[in-house]
Structure 1
Amino acid sequence: MNTTLMQMTVLMLCGAGWRVLMPNRLSADQTRLVLTSVVYYFFMPVMVLDVLWRADIGWQSLQYSALGSISILLSIVASWMTAKLCRFKNQQTGAVILAAAFPNVTYLGLPVLEQIFGDWTRSLVIQIDLFAEAPLVYTLGIMLARHYGATGEPKPKSVLAFFNAPPFWAAFVAVVLNLNQVPIPFWLAGLLQKCSGAVAPLMIFSLGLALSWRDIRVRNLPFIAPTVLIKLWLMPLIALWLANLLNLTGHPKAAAVMDIAMPSMVMGIVLCDRYKLDSGLYAMAVTVTTALSLASLPLWYRVL
């Protein structure tokens, strides 16, 4: 576990170093936009197709979906109650809820779990992402961002429009092929596996590009402290309790709970920018929770 996190840390630091050195005058934000776009529009759909085509889709898929969805919903309630109790302003409330409730299940969870438990965790991560977190981000997450953000936003598109995306289409095709027991051609299987191998390092490097120590401000500590407690400790406890209720055992249980224990998702910064939430606070939450997860994840690994 420690060796895996050391490897991930070095790769993230390479991404963070890019922000300082700016090779060929390419800023970290420009580079991250290109890399995440390539992953989102090509490598991620390919990996989704590869994994879900082979996956054992059934009762366990429902367990993963329920675990992820309920963990996120209960964490939203906990962070909302905390914001109310502490009387946070709307812009900070929205940022805290997004940072505390939505984990980085794919960009960090995928490479970490794959290194610790093996390739089979790709299916687990993708199912938690596509069947639990992503639908909630594109529906409830956007509703919360709009509610707590600045007014005057144009009328949003249909919710269904957000699912008109390459990963969701790849998941739909893969599930259809899987349920109809269509075999994967040998040549295609090799191609899909080679492309899938590029996802993890690109994700980790992109995460490093997103980290910015300049966003850390002392004035944000009252907002960051409860965010860290909910994201890195309360949410995994909720997931562990749910895993026991759902009768998950062994490595699937450990991997699923650890995926929920990942730090704040990077994508939330996009929602904060679009809906005028406190983007600096959210960026600080991503940086701090990611750094502290290097200590919390080994502890959860020992517990599980």
Structure 2
Amino acid sequence: MEVFVIFQRMLMLLAMMALGYISYKRNWLDEGGHKKLSEMVVNIFNPALVINGAITATAAGGSNLSLIKENLIFVLIYYGICIVISYPVAKIVSAKDSQKSMFMLMTIFSNVGFMGIPVLSSIYGSHAVIFITFYILAYNVILYTLGVFIAQRNIPKEERKSSLSGLLNIGMICSVLAIILYFSGIKFNDSVMSFFNYVGNATIPLSMIVIGASVAKIPFREVFKGIRLYVFAFITLLLIPIAASFIFKGMKNDEMVFGIFILLFAMPVGSIVSMLIKEYGGDETLCSKTVIITTLLSIITIPIVTMFI
């Protein structure tokens, strides 16, 4: 994989984030606009990109069961590793029991969809999205079961509640629909494909703009304080993906499927963790800072990780 090309693409994404940062600072995009734009990315553009990935892959030659099987194995390995190592990682970076749950969540739930899809589709093309879709399905199931359980560890048992209803969301629905379309082999006319292509591709700049605006919300100096956040970033953005690349290299059959598996380890912390922490109690500011730091550092660390794929 050409590292310089990947670095150029990451710089392009960084430039898009800068647009969001500047827009928020200049008040071209206010708090209300940022929230609405984020909702549009989550509920319209990102789902369209998922659907586009399915119909593009189908148009390119239909479903490839051997690749799907290989991908599913990597999905299971991916989340198995994330769950198993979440407690040791949390123990390394936090001495406070009240914060261990937060670091566990941040280890398990990286930004698979909101940043993973734009980054990986820019590297491998839109046909790669169908493989990421399986990770998103598993992500949703684990998030609203184990994720909610971990998030509620620090609150009294009588105040805990189930969030299984959260499983029925637009991301989950479109992921299931994309997989059905992929395996059905249905091919759409050019107008339908163009629609999903145009709308879906808007996800890349818009999601980066949303992330950039999120960075602008916290005073710049405050974002970069805290050595343990950099220790956490080093472990999750570099150490784990590079180690996984060496350990599982023998299972590599398809470069794209294996690359997706490794690079998803290298994704920054998912913003959904901040929402969980906010809902169930915890250090929301520290969580938001970690999301921002890992997002910014990933611009540099993702090209480094590609050197080991």
Common fold: TM-score over 0.5: yes
Code of the residue aligned with 2:82 in structure 1: it is: S
Q: Aligned residue for 1:144?
A: 150
Code of the residue aligned with 1:52 in structure 2: it is: A
Q: Aligned residue for 1:8?
A: 13
1:226 deviates by: 3.8
Q: Deviations over 1:5-53 (max 9, x none)?
A: 11111111221223322227x22xx333211211222222222223224
Structure 1 residue corresponding to 2:133, chosen from 126, 129, 137? 126
Cα RMSD (Å): 2.6
Q: Deviations over 1:83-109 (max 9, x none)?
A: 346663233112211222322122222
Q: Aligned residue for 1:171?
A: 175
Range 143-152 or range 39-48, more displaced = 143-152
Q: Aligned residue for 2:261?
A: 256
1:19-38 → structure 2 map (5 Å cutoff): 19-23=24-28, 26-27=30-31, 30-38=32-40
**Structure 2 vs 1, CA of residues 175 and 276 (structure 1 numbering), >3 Å: closer, same or farther?**
same
Show structure 2 runs of 5+ residues with no match.
Answer: 1-5, 58-62
Q: SS of 2:117's equivalent?
A: helix
Q: How far apart, in 2, do the equivalents of 1:208 and 1:228 lie?
A: 19
Q: How far apart, in 1, do the equivalents of 2:22 and 2:156 lie?
A: 34
Structure 1 residue corresponding to 2:166, chosen from 162, 173, 181? 162
Structure 2 residue corresponding to 1:195, chosen from 196, 199, 204? 199
Range 88-97 or range 58-67, more displaced = 58-67
Q: Do the aligned residues in 2 keep the contact of 1:104 with 1:263 (CA within 8 Å)?
A: yes
Q: Aligned residue for 2:54?
A: 52
1:228 aligns with 2:245: no
**Structure 2 vs 1, CA of residues 217 and 90 (structure 1 numbering), >3 Å: closer, same or farther?**
farther
**Structure 2 vs 1, CA of residues 265 and 149 (structure 1 numbering), >3 Å: closer, same or farther?**
farther
1:261 deviates by: 0.9
1:279 aligns with 2:281: no
Range 120-129 or range 290-299, more displaced = 120-129
Q: How far apart, in 2, do the equivalents of 1:87 and 1:258 lie?
A: 25
Code of the residue aligned with 1:33 in structure 2: it is: K
Q: SS of 1:147's equivalent?
A: coil
Structure 1 residue corresponding to 2:120, chosen from 113, 117, 121? 113
Q: Percent identity?
A: 20
Q: Aligned residue for 2:79?
A: 72
Range 240-249 or range 104-113, more displaced = 240-249
**Structure 2 vs 1, CA of residues 69 and 238 (structure 1 numbering), >3 Å: closer, same or farther?**
farther
Q: SS of 1:262's equivalent?
A: coil
Code of the residue aligned with 2:304 in structure 1: it is: L
Code of the residue aligned with 1:270 in structure 2: it is: M
Q: Aligned residue for 2:187?
A: 183
Q: Do the aligned residues in 2 keep the contact of 1:53 with 1:178 (CA within 8 Å)?
A: yes
Q: What TM-score results when the alignment is normalised by the length of structure 1?
A: 0.85
**Structure 2 vs 1, CA of residues 216 and 96 (structure 1 numbering), >3 Å: closer, same or farther?**
same
Q: How far apart, in 2, do the equivalents of 1:83 and 1:236 lie?
A: 17
Range 240-249 or range 196-205, more displaced = 240-249
Q: How far apart, in 2, do the equivalents of 1:49 and 1:134 lie?
A: 17
Code of the residue aligned with 2:279 in structure 1: it is: R
1:57 deviates by: 5.5
Range 80-89 or range 253-262, more displaced = 80-89
1:303 deviates by: 2.1
Q: How far apart, in 1, do the equivalents of 2:263 and 2:91 lie?
A: 28
1:243 deviates by: 4.3
Q: What TM-score results when the alignment is normalised by the length of structure 2?
A: 0.84
Q: How far apart, in 2, do the equivalents of 1:172 and 1:124 lie?
A: 12
Range 2-11 or range 231-240, more displaced = 231-240
**Structure 2 vs 1, CA of residues 264 and 43 (structure 1 numbering), >3 Å: closer, same or farther?**
same
Q: How far apart, in 1, do the equivalents of 2:301 and 2:93 lie?
A: 25
Show structure 1 runs of 5+ residues with no match.
Answer: none
Code of the residue aligned with 1:138 in structure 2: it is: Y
Structure 1 residue corresponding to 2:42, chosen from 15, 40, 43? 40
Q: Deviations over 1:112-154 (max 9, x none)?
A: 2222332322223333222x32322222111111114576635
Q: Do the aligned residues in 1 keep the contact of 2:106 with 2:270 (CA within 8 Å)?
A: yes
How many residues are paired up? 296
**Structure 2 vs 1, CA of residues 253 and 124 (structure 1 numbering), >3 Å: closer, same or farther?**
same
Q: Aligned residue for 1:244?
A: 249
